[in-house]
Structure 1
């Protein structure tokens, strides 16, 4: 717990050596411009008889960028603000309380940690503290969540239900756009959802450190809520582009499970998080994923003599475990499961 950056950032005047990334992977002093090219999709259009056009936009964005933003998604701004406020508050709870959340016990599904699960063995630490726990099925996990702030369980529980419903709507649109049968993802392929709340304190030398290093997500899709401080960057055609924080929007990105199911049609794109010299940043990533024992493989409709399966079938828990053991290097994990990129 004493390693949490949130507990000591105000006294840090420089980035400690074990947080400094190598020159080839650190952000440096180059300012990355905000990009307007990543689509912003108005989901209300799907309810106005323009469903097919919305589906085309989503599929195109998932193919070209692996990312898009959604607005008019049905979750109120007040609910988003209230939930974000609670997420921010938990990182500033008394030290003794946070100490109880920081644990190496693998049997405890709800835990707070700094940098990553591999803190003890990683070469460079990330400039972030994180709270992570399952949030679906809600009745299975809610009683294990933090008891404080006192409204955490109720507020985050309600919000998780709303996000899960949004995720189901998005997956139905995606499955329709891919030409899969109706309800293709209404099963164990969306049987779990993990919440990862990340807090990136103000960093005195943001050109040297990273909140999250370059990676792709191992799950199906990620639904990201962020505060009004930007920090997410996406790798496009070998260059980094920055996503500006947009009020009342969720950022959606394709995870490797969706890339595998679509047999490499949709792309799980590498991204990273940079830090900020003047402000801290808090985000909440809802990671929609298969159930642990769910078998994942390319959908049969994408396989023929010219398009062999990009990898062999696997249990999602095996993929996930291997992913975190390999420091998030998804390409290494995919190779272990017989993957070949088309």
Structure 2
């Protein structure tokens, strides 16, 4: 398995990464101009009881209109974020032979490195390498599989994953409040699965018009918290087009996954997104996925089946069943939801 990061400079796009014409992106400077921007929410204000309801309302509005937003003043220290980002970049920068022991497509591993994505049913390849990490709660079993190099990798990952997990729980409490639910509604089985992390590495691409960093998809999980750094590349579907999620220093990007849409009976929508490439700079994103326990049953929450949302729109299922359907649908948003939607 060849990694893109094993070759520091790419002078052309290999044929296997060239997408069919109908799947290729427009270059960023050819995208239609738009005044629409992804909402940015200052979480520090949520600590003020007089302003908390305003922040909650902003979050729910963003969830309904976009399914994605950015947060600032979120409580995760910048040195914690940068510490792990630097360690992750250091891993991808290691010689190929030092990464070789970690190369794998075995989903049972708590740490592995691979390339492209397993979800495209046509075998198209995408311009990225990635780490898949089981990261929270931190256990000895997890840590033993994490790499010893760079030297700071294990400690910085443990610190970062704990801080982001806490942020995710805060966000889930605010979303629950905004839906009129108990603040602990999403705790327990709904968000108690092993937290997973994807660290995506996109090297400079000689011709971004020919390929994508990541295919259009919705996340399988409940909630995603993303550190995208200072290099643009994430785009979110909105109003029939693609909005660039512009990097904001010190921010996290938060987006809703399929499970949130199903639990809220469609009131909040999962957001389709993709990654585009660039010619000038490495882009590294750290994606933390908050997920349910595999054995728990999923469906619209009884509290969310009401006059506002109508009858239940989705059937109940186990999360393990959803994972199989997601893979079979090659991560296509509509194909996945069609499988679980109740058709009347």
Fold in common (TM above 0.5): yes
Band of TM-score, shorter chain: over 0.9
* 1:26 maps onto 2:8 in alignment: no
Q: Which moved more, 1:103-112 or 1:277-286?
A: 103-112
Does structure 1 retain, via aligned residues, the 8 Å contact 2:119–2:331? no
- Root mean square deviation of aligned Cα: 1.9
* 1:46 maps onto 2:46 in alignment: yes
Offset, 1:143:
2.9
**CA-to-partner distance for each residue in 1:60-93, whole Å, 9 max, x for gaps?**
0000001100000001112211111111111111
Does structure 2 retain, via aligned residues, the 8 Å contact 1:203–1:276? yes
Q: Tell me, in whole angstroms, the C-alpha distance in 1 between the residues paired with 2:144 and 2:92.
A: 20
Does structure 2 retain, via aligned residues, the 8 Å contact 1:136–1:191? no
**CA-to-partner distance for each residue in 1:120-162, whole Å, 9 max, x for gaps?**
x643100000000111222252332222212211111111000
* 1:242 maps onto 2:244 in alignment: yes
SS in 1 for 2:277: coil
* 1:105 maps onto 2:106 in alignment: yes
SS in 2 for 1:24: helix
**CA-to-partner distance for each residue in 1:191-225, whole Å, 9 max, x for gaps?**
13110000000000001110011111111010000
Unpaired runs of at least 5, structure 1: none
Q: Tell me, in whole angstroms, the C-alpha distance in 2 between the residues paired with 1:122 and 1:151.
A: 39
SS in 2 for 1:205: coil
TM-score by length of 2: 0.93
Aligned to 2:253: 251
Offset, 1:34:
7.6
Aligned to 1:260: 262
**CA-to-partner distance for each residue in 1:37-69, whole Å, 9 max, x for gaps?**
211100000112211000000000000001100
Match for 1:15 among 13, 16, 23? 13
Q: Tell me, in whole angstroms, the C-alpha distance in 2 between the residues paired with 1:339 and 1:227.
A: 40
Q: Tell me, in whole angstroms, the C-alpha distance in 2 between the residues paired with 1:208 and 1:9.
A: 19
Distance 1:339 1:154, change over 3 A: farther
Q: Which moved more, 1:46-55 or 1:13-22?
A: 13-22
SS in 2 for 1:138: coil
Distance 1:86 1:21, change over 3 A: same
Offset, 1:94:
2.1
Distance 1:304 1:74, change over 3 A: closer
Report the count of equivalent residues: 338
SS in 2 for 1:93: coil
Offset, 1:9:
4.9
TM-score by length of 1: 0.93
Alignment of 1:1-342 (within 5 A): 1=1, 3-10=2-9, 12-29=10-27, 31=29, 32=31, 37-49=37-49, 50-117=51-118, 122-139=122-139, 141-192=142-193, 193-304=195-306, 307-339=310-342
